[in-house]
A = this chain, B = another copy of it.
Amino acid sequence: MKLQLHIRMNEALFLRNPEGSELGKKIIRHSVELIYKNGFEAFTFKKLAEDIKTTEAGIYRYFENKHKLLVYLTCWYWGWLEFQISFHTNNIKDPTVKLKRIIKLLASAVADDEQTNYLNESLLHQIIISEGSKAYLTKQVGEDNKQEFFKPYKDLCGIIGNIVRECNPKYKYPKSLASTIIEMAHFQNFFMNNLPSLTDFGNVKQESAIISFLDHLVFSSIKKV
């Protein structure tokens, strides 16, 4: 059975829906590959066009600029992750177990789902680690926020915050703890691989170490006294 996951995207992110055509899907797939390979700064619509043998103007019919494309990718990622989380924590009653599972999902490398060839989830995960913050660390964050570009991220943060609250209703910072978990799952990974002396995982370089750190951080915080 081939179960197709579809993530509903904010229409303000694109000019033409990339999911609706072959060219559109190619744009997404290859932009993930190019950004992964060369980084977001070096990524241009010209290079992308050459890569998929279309023209620059062709790309501009889908996305206004590369910032919107990056935001599109991050939104897709958060939506996808929310689904992964709801799938993998389904039927788990204990919020503590749930939270542990979520930390693991957040901090683990992602295997490319061969079934979805819309994009390579594993590369996208790497992009989110290295480039994800650039989606909101801009001067236009306010306007982008008004257009709900960060809704998927906020939704995920809200879900995690609620589970934190279930674990301990008296804990005062569920949302900040949630955003800390999400950001640190990625930043500690980036540091581990690029600036290892900022972490305690430089020698092992294993995600399991990050998971242990986050587990300890989170459960010490929300432990009832």
A118 at the interface (CB under 8 A from B): no
A60 at the interface (CB under 8 A from B): no
Residues of chain A from 172 to 222 with CB closer than 8 A to chain B in the complex: 172-180, 183-184, 187-188, 190-191, 194-195, 197-201, 210, 212-213, 216-217, 220-221
A138 at the interface (CB under 8 A from B): yes
Q: How far is the CA of A107 from the CA of B45 in the complex (A)?
A: 39
B-chain residues with CB within 8 Å of residue A150 when the two chains form the complex = 195
A158 touches B197 (CB 8 A): yes
**Closest Cβ neighbor of A141 among chain B residues:** B194
A142 at the interface (CB under 8 A from B): yes
Q: Given A134-B134, A137-B134, A139-B41: A188 and B176 within 8 A (CB)?
A: yes
Q: Given A41-B139, A194-B141: A199 and B179 within 8 A (CB)?
A: yes
A14 at the interface (CB under 8 A from B): no
- Nearest CB on B from A207, distance (A): 13
A39 at the interface (CB under 8 A from B): yes
Copies of the chain in the assembly: 2
B-chain residues with CB within 8 Å of residue A174 when the two chains form the complex = 200
A137 touches B131 (CB 8 A): yes
B-chain residues with CB within 8 Å of residue A39 when the two chains form the complex = 138-139
**Closest Cβ neighbor of A177 among chain B residues:** B217
B173 touches A180 (CB 8 A): no
Q: How far is the CA of A220 from the CA of B172 in the complex (A)?
A: 13
- Nearest CB on B from A86, distance (A): 20
Q: How far is the CA of A142 from the CA of B191 in the complex (A)?
A: 11
A176 touches B213 (CB 8 A): yes
B138 touches A41 (CB 8 A): yes
B-chain residues with CB within 8 Å of residue A221 when the two chains form the complex = 216-217, 220-221
A173 touches B136 (CB 8 A): no
B-chain residues with CB within 8 Å of residue A41 when the two chains form the complex = 138-139
B195 touches A187 (CB 8 A): no
Which listed residue, B137, B198, B223, touches A175 by the CB 8 Å rule? B198
Q: Which 3 A-B pairs have the closest CB atoms?
A: A39-B139, A220-B220, A179-B198
